[in-house]
Structure 1
Amino acid sequence: MKFQLMALAMLASSPAFASGNFLVDFEKNWDYANGDIAEYYNGGTAADGSAGPNLGVSFSGISGLSNDADFTYYSAAPSATGVAYVYDTAFMNVAGGVSGGLQFFYSSPEAVAGAIKAYSGLNGSGDLLGVFDFAANSSAAYDQWSHALFSFAGTAQSFDLSAGANIVALDNVSSVPLPAGFWLLGSGLAMVGAIGRRGKAAA
C-alpha cells in the first residue's frame, strides 16, 4: 500500500504542462509598410529589422498591424497594441512542435472553411493533423473577437492559415500542450497495478 501511494504521489506532483509553451501577443508598433512578422518571435528579426523574443515561432505571409490615430480597426482586440493579419499564403512554424492544441483570438468578417490546418512537418508538410473553420464574427472594421481552441491529434510543427488571406486577423496565439502527467499516467497506473498484484501474490 505504501508503494502504491508513492506512485500516485509521483503522478500528482508532475508539472501541470510540458515544456515549450509560448504566447505570441503581437504587442509591437509594427511598420505598416514593412510589417511582415517573419522571424521576430524566433530569435530573429521582422521585415522592418526589429528584433524580438525567441519563442521558437516563425511566420510567413502574416503581417503585424498596430493601432494608431489613423488606423483603429483593431481597437477591440484582446491585446491593445498589435494584431496579426493574414495576407498571403501563410504559415506559422513551431520547430519544437505543439502537442494538444492551439488557442487564439480571431476576427473575421467572413466565414472561412479550413482557416487553420495543423501539419506534422514544417510549412504544411507531413501529415494533416486537424482542420479548424472560422465563423463570421465581425464587421469589416474587425471590431469583434472570438476566443477559440483548436485541438488536434499528434504533434504539429506548422499551421497553414492561407485560406484566411485578406480576411482573418489573429491575436494572443498560444500553445496548449498535453499535461506532462498525461505521459506518466500509463506507466504510473501500470506500476500501481503491478505492485498490487505482487502484494496479492505474497499474501
Structure 2
Amino acid sequence: MTLRSLTIASALGAATLAFAAPAQADIVVLDFEGVGDQVAVNDFYNGGTDGAGNSGTNYGINFSRTSLGIIDEDAGGSGNFANEPSASTVLFFLSGGAATMNVAAGFSTGFSFYYAGNATNTGSVRVYDGLNGSGNILATLVLQPNGGNCSGDPNGTPFCNFTAFGVTFDGVAKSVDFGGVANQIAFDNITLGSSTPGNPGVPGVPEPTTWAMLIAGFGLVGAAMRRRTRLTVSYA
C-alpha cells in the first residue's frame, strides 16, 4: 500500500483518555511500529498478532480487518507519506469506510491522535459506547482536508502534514471508527488518556495546510502499486 497524496487539515483539541480498567489507567500511545506493511493490525495490541504474525504490547485493544498498517517508503515500505509523528508506520484502510478500534475494557474522558489526508476529501472519527461501532455515539469529529505545501521529506507529497486532534466526552467508550475515503487518510499516535497525542519523534505540529498523505498517486497504497500511497483525514 502506498500513500501518495493526502491532505489533512485539523485542529488539536483538548482530549484526555482514561481506561475503565486499572490496567488501562495510564496513558497509552499506539504508534503502530512493528506492524507489517499493508498488513491488518488485528490483535497486534491485544495479546495476539497482526496479519503477518508480528506482535506488540498487549493493551487489550484490537482492530477491524480493514485496519491496516503501512510503512514509509523511506523505511522500505510502500507508503508515500512524510513527517509522521513517530517513524515509520501509520494506520490506514483500503476498503470500507473506516478502520475500527475496539477497547474491551473501555476508556473515558477523551482521546487524541494525528491524522493526514489529501487536499479535497474530509475524514471523520466517531466514538461509541459499544464495541464495533455500536451503541450510542459519544463524540463525532470532522477532519478537514490538509494536504500539500510539504517541506522536509520530499517523498511524502502531499501526505506530509500530520495534524494533532483531541476530544473529550462523557461516558465510557469501547470503540472508535476512523473514517474517510479509503487510501486517502492516515492516522498515527492514537492516544488514550491524554488530550495531547503522543509525538515521540516530532519537535512540533505542522501547519494544517501542509499535511497530506496518499497511497500510490492517489492514496496510501498508490506508489507501490504505483509505488504506494498515503492517507487522508478530516475532522468533524
Please confirm whether the aligned pair reaches a TM-score higher than 0.5, indicating the same fold: yes
Alignment match, 1:150: 167
Mapped pair 1:84 → 2:91: yes
Alignment match, 2:112: 103
1:127 CA drift (Å)? 0.9
Q: How does 1:177-192 map to 2 (within 5 A)?
A: none
Alignment match, 1:75: 82
Alignment match, 2:122: 112
Q: 1:86 is aligned with what amino acid?
A: F
Structure 1: how far apart are the matches of 2:77 and 2:107? 37
Alignment match, 1:30: 36
1:26 CA drift (Å)? 1.0
Alignment match, 2:208: none
Asked if the contact 1:122/1:158 (under 8 Å) is kept, the reply is yes
Structure 2: how far apart are the matches of 1:86 and 1:72? 12
Gapped regions of structure 2 (runs ≥ 5): 1-17, 149-156, 196-236
Equivalent position to 1:165, from 173, 182, 188: 182
Mapped pair 1:57 → 2:67: no
1:177 CA drift (Å)? 6.2
Rg bigger for which structure? 1
1:164 CA drift (Å)? 4.3
Mapped pair 1:66 → 2:74: no
1:129 CA drift (Å)? 0.9
Mapped pair 1:133 → 2:142: yes
Provide the alpha-carbon RMSD of the alignment: 2.2
1:80 CA drift (Å)? 1.0
Mapped pair 1:41 → 2:41: no
Gapped regions of structure 1 (runs ≥ 5): 1-16, 179-203
CA gap 1:126/1:70 in 2 versus in 1, 3 angstroms: closer
CA gap 1:128/1:39 in 2 versus in 1, 3 angstroms: same
Higher helix share: 1
1:134 CA drift (Å)? 0.3
Aligned residues: percent identity?
A: 31
Compare relative contact order (CA 8 Å, sep 6+) and give the higher one, 1 or 2.
2
Count, aligned residues: 159
